[in-house]
A and B are shown apart, each in its own frame.
Chain A
Amino acid sequence: GAVVSQHPSWVICKSGTSVKIECRSLDFQATTMFWYRQFPKQSLMLMATSNEGSKATYEQGVEKDKFLINHASLTLSTLTVTSAHPEDSSFYICSARGDSPYEQYFGPGTRLTVT
């Protein structure tokens, strides 16, 4: 149980375009979802926290107008990278928490390359 999926697993896009990444909790209802970003040879950096039906809370330094997060249902959250630039190329990982505050499950990640 407690499976989190992401789609796509990898994507290449041209600079200036927008890319949407989906995160789904497959066998539980995720009241809270988190988005992380990871650059090569670095640790995961928390970007934002979203609760179902409310606006996401972004970490300091993360542009909310550039990284649009929607958590419209208890099983789906999306991250849209708008007007992508090469420096947005990274590994994006979502995470979901259900009813238990002790457990946070991670998706397999999406590798974004902006050319």
Chain B
Amino acid sequence: DAKTTQPPSMDCAEGRAANLPCNHSTISGNEYVYWYRQIHSQGPQYIIHGLKNNETNEMASLIITEDRKSSTLILPHATLRDTAVYYCIVRLSGNTPLVFGKGTRLSVIA
């Protein structure tokens, strides 16, 4: 029942930008796009979220297409510590919980 589609794995060279794509073609107008990541054997960590505008914070940038059917998470200068599983999640605001798909396993290589 995943609402998002992500590649199962990606590699990125240390110091380069990591661009993680996500398809959410059935997203509705009031659903937000969230990104979390999970480093091995830890709880998920919030990265960023957005509705329709591009967003940037100290960790990453979120680029959402104009039709909102896909988005890209950008880690501008990937480090080895960014190696993790990255989850793209769409959900309504309010009381709906986060439902995780399979995510993308990002490996940052020295």
Chain A residues at the B interface, C-beta cutoff of 8 Å: 4, 6, 32, 34, 36, 43-46, 49, 91, 93, 95, 101-109, 111
Contact = CB atoms under 8 A, between A and B. Distances in A.
A102 B49 contact: yes
Main secondary structure of the interface of B (DSSP, over half): loop
Contact of B43 (A46, A49, A93): A93
B93 A101 contact: yes
Contacts of B49: 102
Contact of B97 (A34, A105, A108): A34
B27 to A, nearest CB: 16
B41 A43 contact: no
Contact of A44 (B44, B46, B93, B94): B44
B101 interface: yes
Contacts, number: 51
22 contacts: A34-B97, A36-B100, A44-B38, A44-B100, A46-B97, A46-B98, A46-B99, A49-B97, A93-B44, A95-B44, A101-B93, A102-B32, A102-B49, A102-B93, A104-B98, A105-B46, A106-B36, A108-B42, A108-B43, A109-B42, A109-B43, A111-B41
Tell me if A's interface is mostly helix, strand, loop or mixed. strand
Contacts of A101: 93-95
Nearest to B99: A46
Given A93-B43, A104-B98, 7 more contacts: A43-B103, A46-B100, A93-B44, A101-B94, A101-B95, A104-B97, A106-B46
B35 to A, nearest CB: 12
Contacts of A6: 43
B95 A106 contact: no
A108 B39 CA distance: 10
Interface in B72-94: 87, 93-94
A91 B32 CA distance: 27
B45 interface: yes
